Chain A
Amino acid sequence: MVLLLAICFVVNITLGSVSIPLKEIFNSLFGNIENQSWQYIILNFRLPKAITAILVGSGLGISGLLMQTLFRNPLAGPFVLGISSGASLGVALVILGAGTFGGFLSTFLISKWSVVIAASLGSLLVLLAVLAMSVKVRDTMAILIIGLMFGSITAAVVSVLSYFSSAEKLQQYVFWGFGSLGNLSWNELLVFFCIYALGLLLSVTSIKALNTLLLGENYAKSLGLNIKQSRLVIIFATSLLAGTITAFAGPIAFIGLAIPHMVRQVFNTSNHKILLPAVFLLGAIIMLICDSIAQLPHSDFSLPINAITSLIGAPVVIWLLVRKRKMMF
Protein backbone atom coordinates (compact mmCIF):
# COMPACT_ATOMS: atom_id res chain seq x y z
CA MET A 1 0.00 0.00 0.00
CA VAL A 2 2.92 2.34 0.67
CA LEU A 3 4.12 1.59 -2.88
CA LEU A 4 0.64 2.22 -4.26
CA LEU A 5 0.58 5.54 -2.41
CA ALA A 6 3.92 6.51 -3.98
CA ILE A 7 2.67 5.61 -7.47
CA CYS A 8 -0.53 7.62 -6.99
CA PHE A 9 1.52 10.53 -5.72
CA VAL A 10 3.70 10.60 -8.85
CA VAL A 11 0.74 10.06 -11.19
CA ASN A 12 -1.09 12.90 -9.49
CA ILE A 13 1.81 15.28 -10.04
CA THR A 14 2.19 14.18 -13.66
CA LEU A 15 -1.36 15.02 -14.60
CA GLY A 16 -2.52 18.57 -15.16
CA SER A 17 -3.60 21.12 -17.74
CA VAL A 18 -0.02 21.48 -18.98
CA SER A 19 1.48 18.13 -19.77
CA ILE A 20 4.98 17.67 -18.47
CA PRO A 21 7.02 14.54 -19.18
CA LEU A 22 7.67 12.24 -16.25
CA LYS A 23 11.44 12.60 -16.53
CA GLU A 24 11.23 16.36 -16.25
CA ILE A 25 9.14 16.01 -13.11
CA PHE A 26 11.83 14.06 -11.32
CA ASN A 27 14.41 16.52 -12.57
CA SER A 28 12.44 19.44 -11.19
CA LEU A 29 11.85 17.71 -7.88
CA PHE A 30 15.52 17.00 -7.42
CA GLY A 31 16.71 20.41 -8.51
CA ASN A 32 17.96 19.85 -12.06
CA ILE A 33 16.41 22.87 -13.69
CA GLU A 34 15.79 22.55 -17.43
CA ASN A 35 12.51 24.30 -17.89
CA GLN A 36 11.85 27.15 -15.45
CA SER A 37 8.08 27.36 -15.95
CA TRP A 38 7.59 23.60 -15.59
CA GLN A 39 9.56 23.60 -12.38
CA TYR A 40 7.51 26.53 -11.15
CA ILE A 41 4.25 24.70 -11.89
CA ILE A 42 5.41 21.57 -10.15
CA LEU A 43 6.95 23.09 -7.07
CA ASN A 44 4.29 25.69 -6.43
CA PHE A 45 1.10 24.07 -7.68
CA ARG A 46 1.20 20.34 -8.16
CA LEU A 47 3.42 19.33 -5.27
CA PRO A 48 1.51 21.32 -2.62
CA LYS A 49 -1.74 20.04 -4.08
CA ALA A 50 -0.63 16.41 -3.93
CA ILE A 51 0.56 16.84 -0.35
CA THR A 52 -2.74 18.50 0.54
CA ALA A 53 -4.58 15.54 -0.98
CA ILE A 54 -2.62 13.13 1.20
CA LEU A 55 -3.24 15.15 4.36
CA VAL A 56 -6.94 15.61 3.59
CA GLY A 57 -7.61 11.97 2.63
CA SER A 58 -5.75 10.41 5.53
CA GLY A 59 -6.95 12.97 8.08
CA LEU A 60 -10.62 12.62 7.16
CA GLY A 61 -10.37 8.83 7.08
CA ILE A 62 -8.80 8.69 10.53
CA SER A 63 -11.24 11.12 12.10
CA GLY A 64 -14.09 9.07 10.61
CA LEU A 65 -12.63 5.91 12.13
CA LEU A 66 -12.32 7.59 15.55
CA MET A 67 -15.94 8.74 15.48
CA GLN A 68 -17.32 5.38 14.31
CA THR A 69 -15.58 3.54 17.12
CA LEU A 70 -16.33 6.13 19.80
CA PHE A 71 -20.03 6.29 18.92
CA ARG A 72 -20.25 2.59 18.02
CA ASN A 73 -22.16 3.79 14.98
CA PRO A 74 -21.29 2.87 11.39
CA LEU A 75 -23.01 6.03 10.15
CA ALA A 76 -20.76 8.37 12.10
CA GLY A 77 -18.21 10.42 10.20
CA PRO A 78 -15.77 13.23 10.96
CA PHE A 79 -18.54 15.79 10.74
CA VAL A 80 -21.08 14.32 13.18
CA LEU A 81 -19.85 16.65 15.88
CA GLY A 82 -20.98 19.63 13.85
CA ILE A 83 -17.44 20.64 12.90
CA SER A 84 -18.14 21.18 9.21
CA SER A 85 -21.37 22.99 9.93
CA GLY A 86 -19.48 25.28 12.30
CA ALA A 87 -16.95 25.97 9.56
CA SER A 88 -19.73 26.53 7.01
CA LEU A 89 -21.34 29.05 9.32
CA GLY A 90 -18.07 30.93 9.73
CA VAL A 91 -17.49 31.04 6.00
CA ALA A 92 -21.12 31.93 5.30
CA LEU A 93 -20.90 34.83 7.74
CA VAL A 94 -17.77 36.10 6.00
CA ILE A 95 -18.84 35.62 2.39
CA LEU A 96 -22.57 36.22 2.63
CA GLY A 97 -22.44 38.66 5.48
CA ALA A 98 -19.58 40.69 3.99
CA GLY A 99 -21.97 42.70 1.81
CA THR A 100 -23.47 44.29 4.87
CA PHE A 101 -20.15 45.69 6.07
CA GLY A 102 -19.56 47.31 2.68
CA GLY A 103 -16.58 48.91 0.96
CA PHE A 104 -13.08 48.37 2.19
CA LEU A 105 -13.98 45.88 4.88
CA SER A 106 -15.66 43.52 2.46
CA THR A 107 -12.63 43.27 0.16
CA PHE A 108 -10.51 42.41 3.17
CA LEU A 109 -13.02 39.89 4.43
CA ILE A 110 -13.16 37.90 1.22
CA SER A 111 -9.41 37.31 1.03
CA LYS A 112 -8.15 33.76 1.23
CA TRP A 113 -6.93 33.87 4.81
CA SER A 114 -10.15 35.35 6.11
CA VAL A 115 -12.08 32.35 4.80
CA VAL A 116 -9.61 30.00 6.46
CA ILE A 117 -9.76 31.93 9.72
CA ALA A 118 -13.55 32.09 9.62
CA ALA A 119 -13.82 28.37 9.01
CA SER A 120 -11.37 27.62 11.83
CA LEU A 121 -13.15 29.93 14.24
CA GLY A 122 -16.53 28.49 13.29
CA SER A 123 -15.46 24.91 13.81
CA LEU A 124 -13.56 25.84 16.97
CA LEU A 125 -16.63 27.47 18.50
CA VAL A 126 -18.88 24.52 17.72
CA LEU A 127 -16.18 22.20 18.98
CA LEU A 128 -15.83 24.06 22.27
CA ALA A 129 -19.59 23.98 22.75
CA VAL A 130 -19.71 20.22 22.08
CA LEU A 131 -16.70 19.58 24.32
CA ALA A 132 -18.22 21.61 27.15
CA MET A 133 -21.38 19.55 26.92
CA SER A 134 -19.56 16.23 26.55
CA VAL A 135 -17.94 16.84 29.93
CA LYS A 136 -21.39 17.17 31.51
CA VAL A 137 -23.21 14.46 29.59
CA ARG A 138 -22.61 10.91 30.76
CA ASP A 139 -24.05 9.16 27.72
CA THR A 140 -21.84 9.18 24.63
CA MET A 141 -24.87 8.86 22.34
CA ALA A 142 -26.17 12.18 23.66
CA ILE A 143 -23.04 13.88 22.31
CA LEU A 144 -23.87 12.50 18.88
CA ILE A 145 -27.35 14.01 19.02
CA ILE A 146 -25.97 17.33 20.34
CA GLY A 147 -23.55 17.43 17.38
CA LEU A 148 -26.41 16.82 14.95
CA MET A 149 -28.48 19.56 16.59
CA PHE A 150 -25.62 22.04 16.19
CA GLY A 151 -25.58 21.03 12.53
CA SER A 152 -29.26 21.92 12.12
CA ILE A 153 -28.87 25.25 13.89
CA THR A 154 -25.96 26.35 11.72
CA ALA A 155 -27.69 25.09 8.57
CA ALA A 156 -30.71 27.20 9.49
CA VAL A 157 -28.58 30.32 10.02
CA VAL A 158 -26.84 29.72 6.70
CA SER A 159 -30.17 29.48 4.86
CA VAL A 160 -31.37 32.73 6.44
CA LEU A 161 -28.13 34.41 5.34
CA SER A 162 -28.41 33.01 1.81
CA TYR A 163 -31.97 34.26 1.54
CA PHE A 164 -30.75 37.83 1.95
CA SER A 165 -27.64 37.50 -0.21
CA SER A 166 -26.88 38.44 -3.78
CA ALA A 167 -26.52 35.70 -6.40
CA GLU A 168 -22.84 36.47 -6.80
CA LYS A 169 -22.05 36.02 -3.10
CA LEU A 170 -24.16 32.93 -3.02
CA GLN A 171 -22.18 31.42 -5.86
CA GLN A 172 -18.94 32.19 -4.05
CA TYR A 173 -20.22 30.38 -0.97
CA VAL A 174 -21.39 27.40 -3.02
CA PHE A 175 -17.95 27.18 -4.63
CA TRP A 176 -16.34 26.99 -1.21
CA GLY A 177 -18.72 24.14 -0.45
CA PHE A 178 -17.40 22.17 -3.43
CA GLY A 179 -14.07 21.78 -1.69
CA SER A 180 -10.69 22.46 -3.22
CA LEU A 181 -7.28 20.91 -2.71
CA GLY A 182 -5.35 23.46 -4.74
CA ASN A 183 -4.42 27.07 -4.07
CA LEU A 184 -2.48 26.36 -0.91
CA SER A 185 0.86 28.13 -0.61
CA TRP A 186 3.76 26.49 1.18
CA ASN A 187 3.19 28.74 4.19
CA GLU A 188 -0.43 27.71 4.47
CA LEU A 189 0.56 24.11 4.00
CA LEU A 190 3.02 24.38 6.90
CA VAL A 191 0.32 25.66 9.27
CA PHE A 192 -2.02 22.95 7.99
CA PHE A 193 0.60 20.25 8.51
CA CYS A 194 1.47 21.26 12.08
CA ILE A 195 -2.13 21.06 13.30
CA TYR A 196 -2.70 17.88 11.31
CA ALA A 197 0.39 16.27 12.88
CA LEU A 198 -0.87 17.06 16.38
CA GLY A 199 -4.25 15.49 15.57
CA LEU A 200 -2.55 12.42 14.11
CA LEU A 201 -0.34 12.05 17.19
CA LEU A 202 -3.36 12.16 19.50
CA SER A 203 -5.09 9.53 17.35
CA VAL A 204 -2.12 7.19 17.59
CA THR A 205 -2.02 7.51 21.37
CA SER A 206 -5.74 6.61 21.43
CA ILE A 207 -5.27 3.25 19.68
CA LYS A 208 -5.34 1.25 22.92
CA ALA A 209 -8.40 3.10 24.19
CA LEU A 210 -10.18 2.58 20.86
CA ASN A 211 -9.56 -1.17 20.98
CA THR A 212 -10.92 -1.32 24.53
CA LEU A 213 -13.99 0.63 23.44
CA LEU A 214 -14.83 -2.19 21.00
CA LEU A 215 -16.23 -4.00 24.05
CA GLY A 216 -18.52 -1.12 25.00
CA GLU A 217 -18.06 1.56 27.63
CA ASN A 218 -18.78 -0.51 30.73
CA TYR A 219 -16.27 -3.18 29.81
CA ALA A 220 -13.75 -0.52 28.81
CA LYS A 221 -14.15 1.00 32.25
CA SER A 222 -13.68 -2.38 33.94
CA LEU A 223 -10.40 -2.71 32.02
CA GLY A 224 -9.10 0.42 33.74
CA LEU A 225 -9.84 2.91 30.95
CA ASN A 226 -10.60 6.47 32.00
CA ILE A 227 -13.63 6.92 29.75
CA LYS A 228 -14.11 10.66 30.08
CA GLN A 229 -10.46 11.43 29.45
CA SER A 230 -10.15 9.12 26.43
CA ARG A 231 -13.41 10.46 25.02
CA LEU A 232 -12.06 13.99 25.30
CA VAL A 233 -8.77 13.09 23.59
CA ILE A 234 -10.57 11.28 20.76
CA ILE A 235 -13.00 14.13 20.17
CA PHE A 236 -10.17 16.66 20.31
CA ALA A 237 -8.07 14.70 17.80
CA THR A 238 -11.03 14.49 15.42
CA SER A 239 -11.71 18.17 15.76
CA LEU A 240 -8.11 19.12 15.00
CA LEU A 241 -8.02 16.89 11.92
CA ALA A 242 -11.47 17.57 10.52
CA GLY A 243 -11.45 21.23 11.57
CA THR A 244 -8.21 22.20 9.80
CA ILE A 245 -9.09 20.15 6.75
CA THR A 246 -12.42 21.92 6.42
CA ALA A 247 -10.74 25.26 6.98
CA PHE A 248 -8.13 24.76 4.24
CA ALA A 249 -9.90 22.50 1.75
CA GLY A 250 -13.61 23.03 2.33
CA PRO A 251 -16.18 20.51 3.56
CA ILE A 252 -15.08 17.40 1.70
CA ALA A 253 -17.77 14.79 2.02
CA PHE A 254 -17.77 11.04 2.01
CA ILE A 255 -14.09 10.15 2.53
CA GLY A 256 -14.39 10.19 6.31
CA LEU A 257 -17.43 7.93 6.32
CA ALA A 258 -16.37 5.51 3.59
CA ILE A 259 -12.66 4.87 4.05
CA PRO A 260 -12.99 3.13 7.45
CA HIS A 261 -15.70 0.87 5.99
CA MET A 262 -13.56 0.00 2.98
CA VAL A 263 -10.59 -0.84 5.20
CA ARG A 264 -12.68 -3.01 7.54
CA GLN A 265 -14.10 -4.94 4.58
CA VAL A 266 -10.70 -5.45 2.98
CA PHE A 267 -8.68 -6.28 6.09
CA ASN A 268 -11.50 -8.04 7.95
CA THR A 269 -10.40 -6.83 11.36
CA SER A 270 -11.45 -4.40 14.07
CA ASN A 271 -8.00 -4.00 15.58
CA HIS A 272 -7.07 -0.32 15.45
CA LYS A 273 -3.37 -1.12 15.35
CA ILE A 274 -4.01 -2.36 11.81
CA LEU A 275 -7.00 -0.14 10.97
CA LEU A 276 -5.36 3.21 11.73
CA PRO A 277 -2.34 2.91 9.40
CA ALA A 278 -4.48 1.21 6.75
CA VAL A 279 -7.05 4.02 6.88
CA PHE A 280 -4.22 6.54 6.65
CA LEU A 281 -2.82 4.93 3.49
CA LEU A 282 -6.12 4.16 1.78
CA GLY A 283 -7.50 7.62 2.55
CA ALA A 284 -4.46 9.25 1.00
CA ILE A 285 -4.55 6.94 -2.04
CA ILE A 286 -8.26 7.48 -2.73
CA MET A 287 -7.90 11.23 -2.35
CA LEU A 288 -4.98 11.34 -4.81
CA ILE A 289 -6.94 9.25 -7.32
CA CYS A 290 -10.04 11.44 -6.93
CA ASP A 291 -7.94 14.56 -7.38
CA SER A 292 -6.25 13.15 -10.49
CA ILE A 293 -9.65 12.49 -12.01
CA ALA A 294 -11.07 15.82 -10.87
CA GLN A 295 -8.52 17.85 -12.76
CA LEU A 296 -9.52 16.13 -16.03
CA PRO A 297 -6.09 15.37 -17.51
CA HIS A 298 -5.11 17.30 -20.66
CA SER A 299 -7.92 19.79 -20.34
CA ASP A 300 -8.21 23.22 -18.79
CA PHE A 301 -11.20 22.35 -16.68
CA SER A 302 -11.34 20.77 -13.27
CA LEU A 303 -14.36 19.32 -11.49
CA PRO A 304 -15.33 20.00 -7.88
CA ILE A 305 -13.44 17.48 -5.74
CA ASN A 306 -16.45 16.96 -3.50
CA ALA A 307 -18.50 15.52 -6.35
CA ILE A 308 -15.71 13.20 -7.48
CA THR A 309 -15.09 11.68 -4.04
CA SER A 310 -18.74 10.68 -3.77
CA LEU A 311 -19.10 9.59 -7.41
CA ILE A 312 -16.16 7.24 -7.15
CA GLY A 313 -16.27 6.23 -3.53
CA ALA A 314 -19.95 5.48 -3.03
CA PRO A 315 -20.19 2.69 -5.65
CA VAL A 316 -17.04 1.11 -4.22
CA VAL A 317 -18.55 0.92 -0.74
CA ILE A 318 -21.85 -0.41 -2.08
CA TRP A 319 -20.00 -3.03 -4.10
CA LEU A 320 -17.95 -4.13 -1.07
CA LEU A 321 -21.03 -4.41 1.15
CA VAL A 322 -23.04 -6.37 -1.42
CA ARG A 323 -20.15 -8.68 -2.22
CA LYS A 324 -19.48 -9.62 1.39
CA ARG A 325 -23.17 -9.51 2.33
CA LYS A 326 -22.16 -8.51 5.80
CA MET A 327 -21.08 -5.28 7.33
CA MET A 328 -17.92 -5.55 9.37
CA PHE A 329 -17.99 -3.31 12.35
Chain B
Amino acid sequence: MALDTQHIILSTDNLSIGYSSKKTQHVVRSGINLELKKGQLIGLVGANGIGKSTLLRTLTKVQKPLSGQILLNGKNLSHYTPVDLAKTLSLVLTEKIASKNLSVFELVALGRHPYTDWIGNLNETDIAIINKSLSQINIADLKDKKCFELSDGQFQKAMIARALSQDTDLIILDEPTTHLDMYHKAYILKLLQRLVKETQKTILFSSHEIDLAIQLCDSMIVMTNSEVTLDAPKNLISKGIFNELFPKDLITFDLESGSFRVKK
Protein backbone atom coordinates (compact mmCIF):
# COMPACT_ATOMS: atom_id res chain seq x y z
CA MET B 1 0.00 0.00 0.00
CA ALA B 2 2.84 2.37 0.92
CA LEU B 3 4.45 1.66 -2.43
CA ASP B 4 1.17 2.34 -4.11
CA THR B 5 0.74 5.86 -2.75
CA GLN B 6 4.18 6.80 -4.04
CA HIS B 7 2.90 6.40 -7.55
CA ILE B 8 -0.02 8.73 -6.96
CA ILE B 9 0.51 12.39 -7.81
CA LEU B 10 -2.95 13.67 -7.01
CA SER B 11 -5.84 12.12 -5.18
CA THR B 12 -9.22 13.33 -4.02
CA ASP B 13 -11.11 11.97 -1.04
CA ASN B 14 -14.88 12.31 -1.08
CA LEU B 15 -14.46 15.67 -2.79
CA SER B 16 -17.45 17.92 -3.24
CA ILE B 17 -17.14 20.84 -5.63
CA GLY B 18 -19.32 23.85 -6.34
CA TYR B 19 -19.90 27.43 -5.35
CA SER B 20 -20.82 28.81 -1.99
CA SER B 21 -22.03 32.24 -0.97
CA LYS B 22 -22.89 33.45 2.51
CA LYS B 23 -26.26 31.76 2.71
CA THR B 24 -26.42 29.03 0.11
CA GLN B 25 -24.22 26.31 -1.32
CA HIS B 26 -24.53 25.29 -4.92
CA VAL B 27 -23.09 21.79 -5.22
CA VAL B 28 -21.95 20.95 -8.74
CA ARG B 29 -20.65 17.45 -7.97
CA SER B 30 -20.02 15.49 -4.81
CA GLY B 31 -18.40 12.23 -3.72
CA ILE B 32 -15.52 12.49 -6.19
CA ASN B 33 -12.77 9.94 -5.50
CA LEU B 34 -9.89 10.01 -7.97
CA GLU B 35 -6.29 8.81 -7.95
CA LEU B 36 -4.06 10.19 -10.70
CA LYS B 37 -0.96 8.07 -11.31
CA LYS B 38 2.45 9.60 -11.98
CA GLY B 39 3.80 9.64 -15.53
CA GLN B 40 0.43 9.41 -17.24
CA LEU B 41 -1.44 11.46 -19.81
CA ILE B 42 -4.95 11.88 -18.45
CA GLY B 43 -7.89 13.33 -20.37
CA LEU B 44 -10.93 14.85 -18.70
CA VAL B 45 -14.09 14.69 -20.80
CA GLY B 46 -17.74 15.45 -20.24
CA ALA B 47 -20.61 17.41 -21.77
CA ASN B 48 -20.82 21.18 -21.51
CA GLY B 49 -21.96 22.34 -18.08
CA ILE B 50 -21.22 19.02 -16.36
CA GLY B 51 -18.58 20.59 -14.09
CA LYS B 52 -15.26 19.99 -15.85
CA SER B 53 -14.07 23.54 -15.32
CA THR B 54 -15.25 23.58 -11.71
CA LEU B 55 -13.32 20.37 -11.08
CA LEU B 56 -10.15 21.78 -12.66
CA ARG B 57 -10.54 25.07 -10.80
CA THR B 58 -10.83 23.16 -7.53
CA LEU B 59 -7.88 20.86 -8.27
CA THR B 60 -5.72 23.89 -9.06
CA LYS B 61 -6.75 25.76 -5.90
CA VAL B 62 -8.43 28.57 -7.81
CA GLN B 63 -11.55 27.83 -5.78
CA LYS B 64 -12.03 25.98 -2.51
CA PRO B 65 -13.64 22.54 -2.27
CA LEU B 66 -17.01 22.52 -0.49
CA SER B 67 -15.96 19.42 1.44
CA GLY B 68 -13.54 16.51 1.21
CA GLN B 69 -9.86 16.92 0.53
CA ILE B 70 -7.29 16.95 -2.25
CA LEU B 71 -3.81 15.48 -1.77
CA LEU B 72 -1.06 16.67 -4.12
CA ASN B 73 2.12 14.59 -3.77
CA GLY B 74 0.72 13.29 -0.48
CA LYS B 75 0.26 16.78 0.99
CA ASN B 76 -3.07 18.50 1.48
CA LEU B 77 -3.60 21.12 -1.23
CA SER B 78 -4.75 23.72 1.30
CA HIS B 79 -1.40 23.47 3.14
CA TYR B 80 0.62 24.55 0.11
CA THR B 81 2.05 28.09 0.03
CA PRO B 82 1.51 29.85 -3.32
CA VAL B 83 5.18 29.47 -4.30
CA ASP B 84 5.37 25.80 -3.30
CA LEU B 85 2.23 25.10 -5.28
CA ALA B 86 3.73 26.91 -8.27
CA LYS B 87 6.72 24.56 -8.06
CA THR B 88 4.49 21.47 -8.12
CA LEU B 89 1.64 22.41 -10.43
CA SER B 90 1.64 24.51 -13.61
CA LEU B 91 -1.30 25.62 -15.72
CA VAL B 92 -2.29 26.34 -19.29
CA LEU B 93 -5.61 28.17 -19.32
CA THR B 94 -8.06 29.14 -22.03
CA GLU B 95 -7.94 32.83 -21.18
CA LYS B 96 -5.93 35.27 -23.28
CA ILE B 97 -2.78 36.67 -21.73
CA ALA B 98 -2.86 40.37 -20.86
CA SER B 99 0.14 41.49 -22.91
CA LYS B 100 0.86 40.01 -26.33
CA ASN B 101 3.91 42.22 -26.67
CA LEU B 102 6.08 39.65 -24.89
CA SER B 103 8.54 37.65 -26.97
CA VAL B 104 8.23 33.86 -26.85
CA PHE B 105 11.46 33.67 -24.84
CA GLU B 106 10.16 36.23 -22.30
CA LEU B 107 6.88 34.35 -22.08
CA VAL B 108 8.57 31.02 -21.41
CA ALA B 109 10.99 32.74 -19.01
CA LEU B 110 8.04 33.85 -16.86
CA GLY B 111 7.62 30.15 -16.02
CA ARG B 112 10.81 30.42 -13.97
CA HIS B 113 9.34 33.03 -11.62
CA PRO B 114 8.76 30.74 -8.64
CA TYR B 115 12.52 30.06 -8.66
CA THR B 116 14.03 33.48 -9.36
CA ASP B 117 15.18 36.15 -6.90
CA TRP B 118 13.22 39.22 -5.75
CA ILE B 119 13.62 41.11 -9.02
CA GLY B 120 13.32 38.10 -11.33
CA ASN B 121 16.88 37.73 -12.67
CA LEU B 122 17.50 34.51 -14.62
CA ASN B 123 20.62 32.51 -13.78
CA GLU B 124 22.34 29.98 -16.05
CA THR B 125 20.21 27.08 -14.84
CA ASP B 126 17.03 29.05 -15.59
CA ILE B 127 18.20 29.90 -19.11
CA ALA B 128 19.20 26.28 -19.75
CA ILE B 129 15.75 25.08 -18.64
CA ILE B 130 14.01 27.71 -20.79
CA ASN B 131 15.99 26.70 -23.86
CA LYS B 132 15.34 23.02 -23.15
CA SER B 133 11.60 23.66 -22.87
CA LEU B 134 11.63 25.57 -26.16
CA SER B 135 13.42 22.76 -27.99
CA GLN B 136 11.23 20.05 -26.42
CA ILE B 137 8.20 21.79 -27.96
CA ASN B 138 10.12 22.44 -31.24
CA ILE B 139 9.70 26.20 -31.07
CA ALA B 140 13.33 27.23 -30.48
CA ASP B 141 13.27 29.08 -33.81
CA LEU B 142 10.31 31.19 -32.66
CA LYS B 143 11.92 32.45 -29.48
CA ASP B 144 12.46 36.06 -30.60
CA LYS B 145 9.01 36.41 -32.15
CA LYS B 146 6.41 38.49 -30.35
CA CYS B 147 3.28 36.70 -29.15
CA PHE B 148 0.97 38.75 -31.39
CA GLU B 149 2.88 37.45 -34.43
CA LEU B 150 2.12 33.81 -33.64
CA SER B 151 -0.66 31.63 -35.04
CA ASP B 152 -3.08 30.06 -32.54
CA GLY B 153 -1.25 26.75 -32.78
CA GLN B 154 2.18 28.31 -32.23
CA PHE B 155 0.88 30.35 -29.32
CA GLN B 156 -0.57 27.26 -27.65
CA LYS B 157 2.81 25.56 -28.02
CA ALA B 158 4.51 28.58 -26.43
CA MET B 159 2.10 28.41 -23.49
CA ILE B 160 2.88 24.70 -23.05
CA ALA B 161 6.62 25.49 -23.14
CA ARG B 162 6.00 28.08 -20.42
CA ALA B 163 4.29 25.49 -18.22
CA LEU B 164 7.14 23.08 -18.93
CA SER B 165 9.80 25.60 -17.84
CA GLN B 166 7.97 25.92 -14.52
CA ASP B 167 9.41 22.42 -13.89
CA THR B 168 6.48 20.90 -12.05
CA ASP B 169 5.44 17.28 -11.50
CA LEU B 170 1.93 17.98 -12.72
CA ILE B 171 0.75 20.12 -15.63
CA ILE B 172 -2.95 20.88 -15.98
CA LEU B 173 -4.34 22.22 -19.25
CA ASP B 174 -7.85 23.56 -19.70
CA GLU B 175 -9.12 22.75 -23.20
CA PRO B 176 -5.75 23.11 -24.94
CA THR B 177 -7.20 22.27 -28.34
CA THR B 178 -9.92 24.91 -28.71
CA HIS B 179 -9.55 27.25 -31.71
CA LEU B 180 -7.23 24.79 -33.43
CA ASP B 181 -7.79 22.92 -36.68
CA MET B 182 -8.04 19.12 -36.82
CA TYR B 183 -4.33 18.65 -37.57
CA HIS B 184 -3.17 20.92 -34.76
CA LYS B 185 -5.61 19.35 -32.29
CA ALA B 186 -4.00 15.99 -32.94
CA TYR B 187 -0.54 17.60 -32.97
CA ILE B 188 -0.95 19.23 -29.53
CA LEU B 189 -2.34 16.08 -27.89
CA LYS B 190 0.35 13.94 -29.50
CA LEU B 191 2.90 16.44 -28.18
CA LEU B 192 1.49 16.07 -24.66
CA GLN B 193 1.74 12.28 -24.99
CA ARG B 194 5.40 12.58 -26.03
CA LEU B 195 6.15 14.95 -23.13
CA VAL B 196 4.72 12.47 -20.64
CA LYS B 197 6.97 9.73 -22.04
CA GLU B 198 10.09 11.91 -22.18
CA THR B 199 9.77 13.73 -18.86
CA GLN B 200 7.76 11.32 -16.67
CA LYS B 201 5.55 14.27 -15.71
CA THR B 202 1.82 13.85 -15.26
CA ILE B 203 -0.36 15.84 -17.62
CA LEU B 204 -4.08 16.34 -17.06
CA PHE B 205 -6.11 18.10 -19.71
CA SER B 206 -9.78 18.73 -20.32
CA SER B 207 -11.02 18.40 -23.87
CA HIS B 208 -13.98 17.87 -26.14
CA GLU B 209 -11.85 15.75 -28.50
CA ILE B 210 -13.07 12.46 -27.11
CA ASP B 211 -12.01 10.42 -30.14
CA LEU B 212 -8.42 11.69 -29.96
CA ALA B 213 -8.31 11.37 -26.17
CA ILE B 214 -9.38 7.72 -26.37
CA GLN B 215 -6.54 7.01 -28.77
CA LEU B 216 -3.79 8.90 -26.92
CA CYS B 217 -4.52 8.95 -23.17
CA ASP B 218 -3.21 6.49 -20.59
CA SER B 219 -6.36 7.01 -18.58
CA MET B 220 -9.42 9.25 -18.72
CA ILE B 221 -11.76 10.94 -16.30
CA VAL B 222 -15.31 10.78 -17.66
CA MET B 223 -17.94 13.02 -16.07
CA THR B 224 -21.51 11.94 -16.68
CA ASN B 225 -24.71 12.94 -14.93
CA SER B 226 -24.50 10.01 -12.56
CA GLU B 227 -20.80 9.59 -11.82
CA VAL B 228 -17.17 10.65 -12.22
CA THR B 229 -15.10 7.68 -13.43
CA LEU B 230 -11.34 7.31 -13.86
CA ASP B 231 -10.01 4.35 -15.85
CA ALA B 232 -8.01 3.32 -18.91
CA PRO B 233 -9.86 4.20 -22.16
CA LYS B 234 -10.38 0.56 -23.20
CA ASN B 235 -11.92 -0.33 -19.84
CA LEU B 236 -14.19 2.71 -20.07
CA ILE B 237 -15.33 1.59 -23.53
CA SER B 238 -16.11 -1.93 -22.41
CA LYS B 239 -18.02 -0.59 -19.39
CA GLY B 240 -20.14 1.44 -21.84
CA ILE B 241 -19.44 4.67 -19.98
CA PHE B 242 -19.16 6.79 -23.14
CA ASN B 243 -22.76 6.04 -24.04
CA GLU B 244 -23.79 7.87 -20.87
CA LEU B 245 -21.82 10.98 -21.84
CA PHE B 246 -24.43 12.74 -23.94
CA PRO B 247 -28.22 12.60 -24.40
CA LYS B 248 -28.91 9.70 -26.77
CA ASP B 249 -31.22 11.49 -29.20
CA LEU B 250 -28.50 12.67 -31.63
CA ILE B 251 -25.22 10.79 -31.25
CA THR B 252 -24.28 7.32 -30.04
CA PHE B 253 -20.97 5.72 -29.21
CA ASP B 254 -19.84 3.02 -31.62
CA LEU B 255 -18.01 0.27 -29.72
CA GLU B 256 -16.32 -1.19 -32.82
CA SER B 257 -14.55 1.99 -33.95
CA GLY B 258 -14.32 3.64 -30.54
CA SER B 259 -15.85 6.87 -31.80
CA PHE B 260 -19.16 8.72 -31.90
CA ARG B 261 -21.65 8.42 -34.78
CA VAL B 262 -24.44 10.80 -35.69
CA LYS B 263 -27.86 9.10 -35.92
CA LYS B 264 -29.07 9.21 -39.51
Contacts and interface: CB of A to CB of B under 8 A. Distances in A.
B208 interface: no
Contact of A223 (B93, B101, B114): B114
A223 B166 contact: yes
B49 to A, nearest CB: 21
A328 interface: yes
A41 interface: no
B114 to A, nearest CB: 4
B95 to A, nearest CB: 6
Nearest to B103: A269
A283 B160 CA distance: 38
A54 to B, nearest CB: 23
Interface residues of A, number: 27
Interface stretch (A19-27, A206-214, A302-310): A206-214
A208 B120 CA distance: 5
Contacts of B120: 207-208, 211, 273
A169 interface: no
A270 B99 contact: yes
A222 B90 contact: yes
B110 A214 contact: yes
Given A208-B119, A214-B97, A224 B85 contact: yes
A223 B109 CA distance: 11
B99 A329 contact: yes
B106 interface: yes
Contacts of A51: none
A221 B97 contact: no
Given A208-B120, A273-B120, A224 B101 contact: no
B60 interface: yes
A310 B110 CA distance: 36
A101 interface: no
Interface in A199-226: 204-205, 207-208, 211-216, 218-219, 221-226
B86 A222 contact: yes
A224 B118 contact: no
Nearest to A208: B120
A28 interface: no
Contacts of B81: 224
Interface in B66-123: 81-87, 89-91, 93, 95-99, 101-102, 106-107, 110-111, 113-114, 116, 118-120
Contacts of A223: 86, 110-111, 113-114, 166
B62 interface: yes
Interface in B103-148: 106-107, 110-111, 113-114, 116, 118-120
Nearest to B90: A222
Nearest to B111: A223
Contacts of A271: 106
B97 A219 contact: yes
Nearest to B166: A223
A99 to B, nearest CB: 48
A222 B91 contact: yes
A270 B82 contact: no
A219 B113 contact: no
- The interface centre, meaning the residue of B84, B93, B97, B98 with most chain A CB atoms within 10 A of its CB, is B98
Interface in B165-192: 166
A91 to B, nearest CB: 36
A273 B118 CA distance: 12
A10 to B, nearest CB: 32
Given A218-B93, A219-B91, A273-B120, A224 B114 contact: yes
Given A208-B119, A214-B102, A223-B111, 4 more contacts: A211-B120, A218-B91, A226-B82, A270-B106
Nearest 7 A/B pairs, CB to CB: A224-B86, A224-B83, A208-B120, A214-B99, A222-B91, A72-B98, A224-B114
